[in-house]
Chains A and B, each alone.
Chain A
Amino acid sequence: MPVTDPLFQHHKHCDEIFASAEEACANGDWTEGDEAFARLFNQLETHFTSEEEVLFPAFESETGMTSGPTEVMRGEHRQMRDLLAQMKDALAARDSDAFGGAAETLLILMQQHNMKEENILYPMCDNALGATSVGATLVERLKAS
């Protein structure tokens, strides 16, 4: 199994939760929206930290590339965290328009980000880290969330 396969699968898992949270809030079902958004927040944070604390440092030390694609991905994680904070505020204010606007922006940013990771960065990581225990560590962290 490729090293990054757990992260690839986890993208799909986060998409599912995103769709539930967005649908609930658009329909004004705030109880379900609160619950789904909390799961989304938690899962995305786990995903980001798994990459920032496990995958990216391993890739950087193996290849010496510290200011390339991993740096761009870290920057996009920051942007997504900011959008999640906006969604959290909108949810607390029960403002479905503001939630929907931030959610729409997060979705496109997240999908572009995933596309870059899945098509470019993950194959590079799979090549560089095939003989390491990084894959097993990622599975453990994602399972624990």
Chain B
Amino acid sequence: MTHLIALGFMLQGMCGALFQFIPVAVGGNVWRPKLVANTVQPLLLLGTLLLVAGLSYSRPELLSAAVPMFLLGLGGFVVAVAMALWRTPATGMTLWAMRMAIGGLAMTVLLGSLLAEAVAHGLSLPIIELTNVHLAWGMGGWALMLLAGVSYHVVPMFQLTKPYPDWLTRWFGPALLLLVIAWSSQLFFDSTWLPVAIAIPLLVILSVYAGATLWLQYTRRRKIHDATSLYFRVAMLSMLTFSFSGAVFFLFPTFGVDPRFAVWLGVLAFAGVFVSAISGMMYKIVPFLNWLHLQRLGAPMSAVPNMKKMIPAEAMTGQLRLHVLALCLLLAAVWQPNLARLAGVAFAASCAWLGWNLIGAIRNYQKFRDQIRANALHH
């Protein structure tokens, strides 16, 4: 399940977004983007299905088969994106955050491949510690680093807020990277106090970033609310809840030993922070890309439908409400197992609705494209 969300949803969305974001935000050019995307996406999809099937049905040969897919697909992606990020003449903390994030993705893939092989072949490796470190690189070093780097631009851009404070953008990424590296030391040292000494500053910087984002949104110049701004708010509130509850679990070991706390934190991180932030971004980027491609067909601009015609606003806010309900139910189900089935159904329905809205956007794009082409033939 975790890998279906992390690889099937988050990673697909984040890799796709980089193709759009790198040229616009940091002036980089990904080498032959269509070829890279058309190669990486099928490999990623196949690798994900093999990995999930291998883990679900305990089939070592499927786990081993998934590894080359990830190494080849994501390895190629990392090289192509890293070349674009290091060749650009641009400067700034978004660029550095993206460079660190792509390094984080490389580490995540290497550790994940090692783990898959270790599980498949029963290698004598510290599986639990490796899993903890793999998770920290995936969620912190890659996903959160990228989210932060992107949000330095898109939060002020979509909602017309003030820019993030300089001190925050300068320190957040490097501090996050250092803490993830320090967290990885558990592979080599056995210490009871070290995880707490690293986790607490990590949770502090998470809450500073989430608090700053909420403050910027609260004081924004644009007063219009939409699904994107509300989704970002849900993501940041989830991150604050993650930080506060994480601090309680680490500081009071009597709570921390309960395995349900790990599930609580996992729900907040995956469904609360990343699914929310990525859904909100897609609701803005997909309609804009539709419009951008349609107006490149050469029709008069008045013939090109605007962004709001791509996905109905009510469908986006309705799906957002269901997602929030599903998130609350999932969190409640951690403590009340009898809610688990209902929570699962609500989350599945919310994800299906998101997919339906996005498919609707593609269908609208095709419909408008055909109309524009038909009109061009008549004139």
Contacts from A to B (Cβ < 8 Å): 15-16, 18-19, 22-23, 26, 79, 82-83, 85-86, 97-98, 100-102, 104-105, 107-109, 111-112, 115-116, 119-120, 123
> Can you list 23 contacts pairing A with B, beta carbon distance less than 8 Å?
A16-B221, A18-B222, A19-B160, A19-B222, A23-B224, A26-B224, A82-B301, A86-B302, A101-B306, A101-B307, A101-B309, A104-B307, A104-B308, A105-B291, A105-B306, A108-B157, A108-B284, A108-B288, A112-B24, A115-B25, A115-B157, A116-B24, A119-B27
Q: Is the interface of B mostly helix, strand, loop or mixed?
A: helix
Complex Cα distance, B89 from A16, in Å, reads: 30
Whether a CB of chain A sits under 8 angstroms from the CB of B218 is no
Instruction: Kindly report which residue of chain B lies nearest to residue A78, judged by CB atoms.
Output: B301
- For A116, the chain B residues whose CB sits under 8 A away are 24, 27
Query: Cβ of A119 and Cβ of B160 under 8 Å apart?
Result: no
Whether a CB of chain A sits under 8 angstroms from the CB of B165 is no
Query: Cβ of A101 and Cβ of B308 under 8 Å apart?
Result: yes
Contacts from B to A (Cβ < 8 Å): 24-27, 89-90, 92, 153, 157-158, 160, 221-224, 284, 288, 291, 295, 301-302, 305-309
Complex Cα distance, B228 from A111, in Å, reads: 16
Question: What number of residue pairs across chains A and B have CB atoms under 8 A from each other?
Answer: 74
Query: Cβ of A18 and Cβ of B160 under 8 Å apart?
Result: yes
Q: Assess A19 versus B223: contact at CB under 8 Å? Given A86-B301, A86-B302.
A: yes
Instruction: Kindly report which residue of chain A lies nearest to residue B285, judged by CB atoms.
Output: A108
Query: Cβ of A120 and Cβ of B27 under 8 Å apart?
Result: yes
- The 8 Å CB contact of B222, one of A22, A97, A112, is A22
- The 8 Å CB contact of B25, one of A16, A26, A119, is A119
Measured CB to CB, the closest approach of chain A to B46, in angstroms, equals: 33
Complex Cα distance, B357 from A30, in Å, reads: 32
Query: Cβ of A111 and Cβ of B157 under 8 Å apart?
Result: yes
Measured CB to CB, the closest approach of chain B to A100, in angstroms, equals: 6
Query: Cβ of B308 and Cβ of A100 under 8 Å apart?
Result: yes
- The 8 Å CB contact of A119, one of B26, B158, B295, B306, is B26
Complex Cα distance, B304 from A82, in Å, reads: 11
